[in-house]
Amino acid sequence: MKQGTWLGLLMVTITAVGLIGLCGGHAVAAEFPAKPINFLTGYTAGSSGDVVFRPLGEAAAKILGQPIVIQNRPGAATALALAQLMNEKPDGHSIGLMVGSGVLQPHLEKLPYSATRDFTPVIKFADFVMGVVVHASSPWKTWQEFTAYAKANPGKIKYAHAGAVNRFSMEGFAKEAGLNWVPVTYKGSAEAIVAILGKHVDAFAGGSDFAPYVKSGELRLLVTYGRTRYSVYPDTPTFRDLGYKTWMASPCVVVAPKGTPAPIVNKLHDAFKQAMDDEAFKRTLANLNMNMGYAGPADSAKFIGDLDELYAGFVKDIGVK
């Protein structure tokens, strides 16, 4: 057979295989979902990480034509749910929630999963708001005033926190700015809020729990430490706005097990992206004082990768555990 004929047959074969693969992908997406979708979350029912997803899941379920069933698997700072999700069949019928603690925890203890290697990100839909508040009666009106006092009085400032993420933020900033202050660890944010309201500490580094007290005027928000300013606090600067490199984040990302086919990931993404326009979801974000923050699969993967690298650096350099 002539060389030209062989080349012609080869090109036809390659094209046919490509078309079969393309059609197969479309067929997979068209048939999905074939049954209810299980959504694993590491939060208890009624907590912020559980509540924020419910209206989004309900709206996405209507678009997909199958219910999304929330399965609460609390434990190990949300890592237990992710460890279970990692072993689920990668067919799109098992998905879950990854937040900052799920990325951080493998750096603090031996866990069976890697946040960057064992999951396929679908969509980032929100961010937990984090920052530093002081009592309204305190003399500090700005973060610059607060840190100037801390620098002039080493070891005198005591700040409350509940969890490693917020302590990382404060200790990372302190190292960068050459400050020395004292962390006071509480079991939960509710206890830390009581401490700052009672003036038992000078500041509270935490999340959305401070929102109602900032709104009422009992607490004053001095700074946030997201990568960019939060839409709910557009006038409050970040560490980065003030010329520092330190940042911290706790995103809400829907993830699937590694190996979930791209057509299914895309179909899930499109449904959740459309669901982000749902009014009930928007109201829930506002009620929880959370920041709506969208990113697609690729950008979500990069965000998780950057956060994973950031946490690894904090654990190594600061040694907070």
Give Cβ neighbours of residue 80 (< 8 Å, ≥ 6 apart): 42, 73, 74
As a whole number of angstroms, the distance between CA 61 and CA 171 comes to: 42
The pLDDT of residue 54 is above 70: yes
For the full predicted model, state whether its pTM sits above 0.85.
no
The pLDDT of residue 152 is above 90: yes
As a whole number of angstroms, the distance between CA 244 and CA 177 comes to: 8
As a whole number of angstroms, the distance between CA 39 and CA 82 comes to: 11
Strand, coil or helix: 265: helix
**Bond before 212 cis per omega within 30 degrees:** no
Distance, C-alpha 68 to centroid of its chain? 20
231-241 pLDDT per residue, tens: 889 999 999 99
Q: What is the mean pLDDT of residues 33-42?
A: 97
Domains in the chain, ordered, with CATH? 36-128+250-317 (3.40.190.150), 131-242 (3.40.190.10)
**What share of the chain in percent tops pLDDT 70?**
90
Report which secondary-structure segment, H or E, holds 37: strand 37-41
Residue 295 dihedral angles phi and psi, to the nearest 5°:
-155, 140
198-208 pLDDT per residue, tens: 999 999 999 88
Residue 25, burial from CB neighbour count under 10 angstroms (0-12, 13-18, 19+) = middle
